[in-house]
Structure 1
Amino acid sequence: MPKIGMPDIRKPQLVRATMNVIERVGLHGASVSLISKEAGVSAGIINHYFGGKQGLLEETMRAILREHSRTITSALKALPKHAHYERINAIIDGNFKGFQAESEVVKTWLAFWSYSMHDPQLHRLQRVNEKRLISHLKIELKALIPQQQVLPVALGIAALVDGIWLRGALNPLGIDAGLARTMINDYLDKQISYYNDLQLG
């Protein structure tokens, strides 16, 4: 966690520098020296305000999560509360478009994702993100399918989001947001149709 007093202008500068370095050399190669050079600051500033590389990595992950949350929250606020299908698509798009699709963000996410299996704090942050996604989806799905199926379908959409994102992150052509939405909508439409037919029949 950054210490109180860290100039606000420095935080995004250091976070962006961290992502740029991770994009070039990977997480393990992203040293305090390389990051400080990229940001145009002394290594001492990183050590003073973040306690070293680990603290800066955690702040970078939090910054990505905050931006991700802001993107989805903003998109949802722009849609009517009753537009549940459109709101689910806004949640889907928030994982594949804009900030989340930038090359350095994608590579940083991918690095953190693998590293979080061995780091309790990064794992906790990853779990927070996962729970937030499931929560957003459950709120909208409640109006579209029976209550007992809300969680399984939300988990299914989340699995598709993660899987499609991961395949896109490893693809030299990058993430195809349009294809992601089409594939997830196909799953969603089938679930809605199936459970509606059950209720009717």
Structure 2
Amino acid sequence: MKKNRYEPESIRTKQILDATVDVIHEVGLANTTLAKIAQKADLSTGILSHYFGNKQGLLNACMRDMLRNLHSIGETKRKTVTDPVEIIKTIIDSNFDISQVNNKAIRVWLEFWNSSMHEPELHRLQRVNEKRLYSNLKYQFQRIIPVEQAIIAARGMASLIDGLWLRGSLMSIHVQFDILQAREIAYQYLDMQIKLYKIKKEDPNG
């Protein structure tokens, strides 16, 4: 029995996006179809087409929604934090939040990242996310260390976060993603950048 077609639009949209994530997790992006998503959401394919146009439109919307959720996690974690070091830690924590490293999220993110290599809109969304991460890190690092070092530190941290996430995700096929270890490695990099600045400050000719 199909669900009530008069449900509020926000509820209907979430219902479809959640079903899309479930189907991608279950069968992979290549095997995901509007029909399978409609069946999972207990809706007609016509309703999906009405909201998103076609499969690619729905996938684009799904990735945007996942990015919004990631951003929202970060904003929630930093609400009561003002110190730049602690804010950088919240950025790290957000990327390794359980919502981002559970088996379903890992599978779907990897599928989207792989598809972004040949789907322009997914590629654009991926680039937006990368630039946002780097920009936020650079801004906070500049509150702690000189701009030249802050640029390098931000690029390094962004690459480290992505690398730790990817390595942990690939390893999660056999073992659970080690959130604590990933955070600790990123924290250590942060501490190293601060210590490096202090050493240079004390001995600028060293």
TM value normalised by structure 2 = 0.90
Match for residue 27 of structure 2? 25
Match for residue 74 of structure 1? 76
Aligned 1:21-170 pairs, distance under 5 A: 21-79=23-81, 81=82, 83-170=83-170
Distance 1:61 1:151 in 2: 28
Distance 1:43 1:143 in 2: 51
Alpha-carbon distance change, 158 to 138 in structure 1, aligned in 2, over 3 angstroms: same
> Counterpart of 2:194 in 1: which secondary structure?
helix
1:120-154 Cα offsets, whole Å, 9 max, x none, are 11111111111111121112111222111111111
Match for residue 200 of structure 1? 202
Q: Match for 1:100: what amino acid?
A: Q
Distance 2:197 2:67 in 1: 33
Q: Match for 1:163: what amino acid?
A: G
Q: Which runs of 4+ in 1 moved over 3 A?
A: none
1:49-82 Cα offsets, whole Å, 9 max, x none, are 1111101100100100111111101211221x2x
| Partners of 1:96 and 1:175 within 8 A in 2 | no
> Counterpart of 1:8 in 2: which secondary structure?
helix
> Counterpart of 1:30 in 2: which secondary structure?
coil
Count of residues in Structure 1 that have an aligned counterpart in Structure 2: 195
Structure 1 stretches of 5 or more lacking a match?
1-5
Distance 2:177 2:13 in 1: 28
Shift of 1:192: 1.5
Q: Identity of paired residues, percent?
A: 43
| Partners of 1:21 and 1:38 within 8 A in 2 | yes
Structure 2 stretches of 5 or more lacking a match?
1-7
1:131-190 Cα offsets, whole Å, 9 max, x none, are 111121112111222111111111111111111111121122242211111111122211
User: CA-atom RMSD, angstroms?
Assistant: 1.5
Distance 2:37 2:155 in 1: 37
Shift of 1:106: 1.8
> Counterpart of 2:9 in 1: which secondary structure?
coil
Distance 1:62 1:44 in 2: 22
Q: Match for 1:196: what amino acid?
A: K
Distance 2:17 2:130 in 1: 22
> Counterpart of 1:92 in 2: which secondary structure?
helix
Q: Match for 1:91: what amino acid?
A: I
Distance 2:139 2:176 in 1: 30
Distance 1:168 1:26 in 2: 19
Q: Match for 2:42: what amino acid?
A: G
